[in-house]
Amino acid sequence: MKNLAILMPQRIGDFVLALSVIARKVASNDESITLIVPQHLIPLCTLLSNLPYFPYRRGSRAELLESIAGVKRQDFDVLYLLTQSLSTAWFGLRTGIPVRRGMSGRLVNPFLTEAIVPSREATGDHITKEYASILEVEDAPPEAWPGVTIPPAPDCGTPVVLCPGPGMIPARQWQGFREIIKLLPSYDFVILGDRHDAAVAKYIASHFPHRVRNCAGRTSIETAAAIIAAASVVIADHCGLMHLAGFIGTPVVGIFGSTSELRDRPLGAAVRCATADGSCAPCNKSTCSRRDYICLKSITPEQVIALAGEIVLQPS
């Protein structure tokens, strides 16, 4: 039996998408699998997965060398790299694991023993297909994911959760969340996000102090996951919490401006995607080269509410 290691992605969204593919690999064979998990995602890993894990620390050179030495002691046969950065490819080489498999890239190929070249059609594929090719497991459509049950937050009811992030990528920041709250006067809302989303969340919540609980930048990822598990629906910009909602199985409406729902839609069947009109989308840029963000402006609050209504909400 081979001893397999999987170097996990650094971002929440990619991390949970990867977990969905790993679940299929676990179900399809009896090989030993250990996750190598970035330090900041270990709480999320222990909440969502029962697989053994090894912490990947790299806050200092000493921590990085300790991580390398620790992986070496595990005597892994194969390392699957679900990131494409030069630093993680170098890490894989330093571990001495004989087989290192990841996506092909000019900078990382010298560090891999098996570089997977995407097909010409891959630009229209969901990112989980890329992970499946690396992990040598059969692909499955994202809507087939059944969800993973976690305990819901006990003290928040069944709110509508809004995720107006990611705060550092303007081309993914839709401006219609205030109007959503206005148009749904009988619903309670919770706003989630990280510290980069705190300012916009505070602005939205300040207009509705009795119906909106602002938790952006104030909760751990485990608490955010529990609130999402309790929610009636999540309405989210393309961000990590959008993918976390899909992984858990909470109904979710994802809002896509500069990015493509074909590659990045949330997991699960109870999913709708609000997509941009305009010839420039998706451009996959962080900021708008036209400076008008027409992709996001073309998505209306009424459109988003209608999509939410298809899976759960009914406007008052």
Is 3-140 in CATH node 3.40.50.2000? Answer: yes
Please enumerate, as own/partner, the contacts of 197-205 that have beta carbons within 8 Å and a separation of 24 or more. Answer: 197/163, 197/164, 197/165, 197/166, 197/167, 198/167, 199/167, 200/164, 200/167, 200/173, 201/164, 204/162, 204/164, 204/177, 204/178
pLDDT, averaged per 10 consecutive residues of the chain (316 residues), comes to 95 98 92 96 97 96 96 97 95 97 96 88 82 96 96 93 90 94 96 95 94 96 97 97 98 94 96 86 85 88 96 68
Beta bridge partners of 214: 191
- Angle, nearest 10°, between helix axes 12-28 and 127-135? 40
- pLDDT value at position 47? 97
What's the rounded Cα separation, in Å, for the pair 170 and 178? Answer: 17
Residue 122: its pLDDT value, please?
Answer: 57
pLDDT of residue 314: 57
Q: Which CATH class is domain 160-311?
A: alpha beta
- The residues of the chain that CATH labels 3.40.50.2000 are 3-140, 160-311
The pLDDT assigned to 131 comes to: 97
* Predicted pLDDT of residue 123: 63
Report pLDDT for 108: 96
At 121 the pLDDT is 56
pLDDT at 288: 81
pTM above 0.75, yes or no: yes
